[in-house]
Amino acid sequence: MCGIAGICRWSGAPVETDRLDQMVQSLVHRGPDGFGLYINGPVGLGHRRLSIIDPNLGQQPMKNESESVVVSFNGEIYNYKELRTELLGLGYLFYTDSDTEVVLRAYEAWGEDCQHRFNGMWAFAIWDATNRKLLLSRDRLGEKPLLYAQDGDTFLFASEAKAFFAYGYPRQLDMEQLEIYLVLGYVPAPYSFFKGIRKLEAGRYLVVTDKGIVQRSHWDFPQFSESEMRTDSVAIHEEFEYLIKDSIRLRMRSDVPFGAFLSGGLDSASIVALMGEYSSDINTFTIGFEDKAFDERELARAVSKKFGTVHHEKIVGVPSFDDALTRTLWIYDEPFGDSSAIPSAQVCAFAAQHVKMVLTGDGGDEVLSGYPSYQAEKFGQYYQNVPAVVRRVIESGVAKLASVARGTPMYQLQRILGVLKATDTSFRDRLLTKSAWIDLCYLDEIMEGKGIARPIEDYLDEVLGACNFNDPFYKLMYFQHKISLPERMLTKVDRVSMAYSIECRAPFLDHRLVEMMAGVSKDIKMPGFERKHLLRNTVGKILPKELLTAPKRGFIPPLRSWINKESISQFADKDNFGKFNLNREALSTFAQLNGEGKRDFGNFLWMVLLLINSEN
């Protein structure tokens, strides 16, 4: 993992060393082990290195002998050894053992088609001096970020937006994205929350020349015919087990100490169990909490004991509200409202004291269609067969129970009621309900006129317009792989891990596994309502039994107690409410209800406070 940045001027004006240096130094957290610049007249590439493969060599930007090809690379190519052997057979010479040089030689050999050869995560820039073009590429699933902007005749790119501001690019929020952010909690690619700054979408690449910018696709999420989804259960189980094992084998390639995050969940435990087939020296990392409702250390210990890992655990406290607010805004640059980023940062900080790289269970829920929302979609198809009058009686009963309940039971009943009512709506509207951090009926009350804000419905219509699936289960799979996985989950993981200079690798996101699972029938992935059936019936057979039956626990910061009416007054400048067209009185009322435990508005109010403080 690293940080990259660059400048390209088609006017011919030379790149200033100090401005490129400022961009690159703003990314020092992404790569504390090395630094390099390449400047040749109007073109400049910069790099900060976190060395994992061939730490003694492999410095970047890397160039070939004639300097006709120069690369600045962030990420890992896991099959670099196999590609290196193939390229040696084609007559290419190597001076390092790094995967960066494999990227360089692969481009020399295969041009833009080299992207199809890579098994990995990446964001890279290649300057092709012979053809006077700049190639920018982002990996298939979007594990690594790449942003770009145009400043007159100057083209800029970087791993994070803070590099643009270090260059001197104006920091102005794009209010067109306001409603999308207030619903989703993030701004998905190709947009950002900053005017003029764009995010390269997963599986895309740019070719930048003096004639302009051309965007192309090197990979897209496969959309198989629903009638041809695989149902050959035995073969599917065998292929799944082979691919997840091979993915882990490749992702354990490292020249520095590494380990794995280990919670009490099925995904991370499965990764740790299979890592033991390739090494007897595995470090595992678990954070615990005083609140037993969120503490999974006992389950993590059971996994560690069974597979003989060197286990590290730490009880972490809850950071102060103002510290969490300030740190989150620095890490993400733009408002990013997923509050689970706070404990994610804590486990990254802890593991970084011992290792430079970890394997994680990220992506398991998406690849295996394992979220409860998939159960809800299957349930909805059955529920619609219940007579309408019976459905109304059920919903009325749940609503009455929710009105008298308090605390966690109230929140659970409110969610159940939302699922029941949503079965009568379109898939798009159900997706909105699932994705939003607040009931959409409150948005008009919160936003005092939407101004130029783009309606969330228009955005989702655009996304789903490219989806060929008809079954809601597969539509949800499409949305999660195309949008929420790269733009929420993987953005969170990349930024918090890089903030603490530690690399995270996700075996579930091997593109071979993703492509295979995209073509598997929902009845194989989830027979009845059993989540993660394939994992439970392969790797799950060797896991501790108590883990397979344990309820999933997640740690969410205490937003219900953190945010109340006083929080809005203390942490939100009243002048900023008008700037964002937000109703201060309505938000104060929501905060009071949240603090009193009558409604769960915690994460939404956290999002609002990040937004209001984002220009401070």
Active-site positions? Answer: 2
Helix segments in 130-177, DSSP class H: 162-167
CB 358 within 8 A of CB 261: yes
CB 104 within 8 A of CB 62: yes
User: How far apart are the C-alpha atoms of 348 and 357, rounded to whole Å?
Assistant: 10
Residue 212, sorted as left (phi over 0), alpha (psi -120 to 50) or beta, turns out to be left
Residue 150: other Cβ atoms inside 10 A: 14
User: How far apart are the C-alpha atoms of 424 and 422, rounded to whole Å?
Assistant: 5
285 Cβ contact partners less than 8 Å away, ≥ 6 residues apart = 259, 260, 261, 262, 312, 313, 347, 350, 351, 354, 358
62-63 vs 133-138, strand pairing mode: unpaired
CA–CA distances in Å: residue 277 to residues 309, 417, 505: 12, 45, 18
User: How far apart are the C-alpha atoms of 30 and 333, rounded to whole Å?
Assistant: 14
User: How far apart are the C-alpha atoms of 482 and 313, rounded to whole Å?
Assistant: 34
CB 536 within 8 A of CB 267: no
